[in-house]
Chains A and B, each alone.
Chain A
Amino acid sequence: NAGVTQTPKFRVLKTGQSMTLLCAQDMNHEYMYWYRQDPGMGLRLIHYSVGEGTTAKGEVPDGYNVSRLKKQNFLLGLESAAPSQTSVYFCASSFRTGRLREAFFGQGTRLTVV
């Protein structure tokens, strides 16, 4: 019972490098989210998706891009990493109807940009 799986779990990047974080869920959820967590800031929404082929901007989208080509996968891309993007990234997914509207989270990706 995998739930929400994020890869990689840790990564160190040099400023200007690019990378893609992968989120995969096996619960047939329609909605998927990418958050970043920084000390004292809680979780801030980067981008989200309400279904396959759709994406939308969240609270802090600058410097990130996303794609959802398959319902079970939600990719987060950093085209040119900056030290300000050092953070812990969490992916989440959920149904959005009735009593099923709770989010399931991955274990996080700790990214350091040097």
Chain B
Amino acid sequence: AQSVTQLDSQVPVFEEAPVELRCNYSSSVSVYLFWYVQYPNQGLQLLLKYLSGSTLVESINGFEAEFNKSQTSFHLRKPSVHISDTAEYFCVVDVGGSYIPTFGRGTSLIVHP
């Protein structure tokens, strides 16, 4: 069975600073990887995904994540954060052939002015 570990429950940063949210997964088969974002009092929405091909994937609002198969990681990065990036971020692993995506426990990104 697959599992997802988000290593930080909370990450405080100052506006315009870089940030990395860490995600490691365990699976013995090929995986699909996702990052979802949840803004306060809202549902989850897809931020970016890795299905195949290039290991570096980007979102429209400046986030990027790199699939590292040897380290079984899919860390999320942004070179300069904004106040509006304050949210909960979930790393998700989905195994081919499985019906059930597995969620990490989430990382709360708090951006201070």
Q: Smallest distance from the beta carbon of A22 to chain B beta carbons, Å?
A: 15
Contacts of B46 in A (CB 8 A): 102-103
Given contacts A40-B9, A40-B105, A43-B90, contact A105 B100 (CB under 8 A): no
A107–B42 touching, CB < 8 Å: yes
Chain A residues, CB < 8 A from B9? 40
State the Cβ distance, B16 to closest chain A Cβ, in Å: 29
Contact B94 A101, beta carbon cutoff 8 Å: yes
Q: Cβ of B103 and Cβ of A43 under 8 Å apart? A: yes
B94 to A, closest residue via Cβ: A101
The verdict on B51 contacting chain A, using a C-beta distance below 8 Å, is yes
In the complex, what distance in Å separates the CA atom of A108 from the CA atom of B45?
12
Contact with B along A41-57 (1 / 0, CB 8 A): 11111001010000010
CB-CB contacts below 8 Å: A54-108 with B? 56, 58, 90, 92, 96, 98-99, 101-103, 105-108
Q: Is B44 an interface residue (CB 8 A)?
A: yes
CB distance from A63 to the nearest CB of B (A): 20
A75 to B61, CA, bound (A): 34
Interface of chain B residues 29 through 58 with chain A (CB within 8 A): 32, 34, 36, 42-46, 49, 51
Residues of A within 8 A of B (CB): 4, 31, 33, 35, 40-45, 48, 50, 56, 58, 90, 92, 96, 98-99, 101-103, 105-108
Known: A43-B103, A58-B100, A105-B45. 12 other contacts (CB 8 A): A4-B43, A42-B105, A43-B44, A48-B100, A90-B43, A101-B51, A102-B34, A102-B46, A102-B49, A103-B36, A106-B43, A107-B42
What are 6 A-B contacts with C-beta separation under 8 Å? A40-B9, A42-B103, A44-B103, A102-B46, A105-B36, A106-B43
